[in-house]
Amino acid sequence: MTKGNEALGSDLLEEFWHWAVAHYENVQLREGLLELQECSGLIILEAMFFAWLGHRGQAIGEEDQQRIRAAITPWVEGVVLPLRRQRQAWTDMPSMITNRRHLLGLELEAERVLAQLLIDALPMQEQLDDLATPAVDRNLSQLPELKDVATRRRVVDMFGR
């Protein structure tokens, strides 16, 4: 990767990360995504990435989704999920509060690496428009966890707020 590409990747990472954090602060969106994570295994940051791409006007197809999923699965399964499971296991253990906070920090760092993997997995286009709901819906429809139309529409609506 050249210095120019590194700078572009870093800028895109910052743009996506700030967008994702700002949207995750929406309580309704956060609770909806956490529910989907729990019941269907949704990778929240992946869904947010697909929505962000749609907001930028970049539509993705099934091949893109498969390439992205292949790029992130080892990290998600090997790092993100084990950290999350351990942190959740310590939720009701007052004696582990310090360790739980430490794990939460590690989990956040792991999510940041996941964001970089998402950015690196797909050739990025210039931003086409600010809110492209059809592209958001199309992108999210590529996720197996959001194939149900009613569920996906609910998520698309939450991202639009």
Residue carrying the six token digits 């929406």: 26
User: What is the pLDDT, as a whole number, of residue 125?
Assistant: 61
- Answer whether 135's CB lies under 8 Å from 127's CB: no
- The answer on pLDDT for 6 being more than 70 is no
User: Span 72-81, mean pLDDT?
Assistant: 98
For residue 2, the model assigns a pLDDT of 45
Give the Cα separation of 35 and 75 in Å (integer).
22
Residue range 27-43, pLDDT digits in tens: 999 999 999 999 999 99
Taking a C-beta distance cutoff of 8 angstroms, is the pair 87, 80 a contact?
Answer: no
Task: List the domain boundaries for the chain.
Answer: 3-160
Distance CA 137, CA 156 (A): 6
> Each residue of 95-129: pLDDT tens digit?
999 999 999 999 999 999 999 999 999 876 655 55
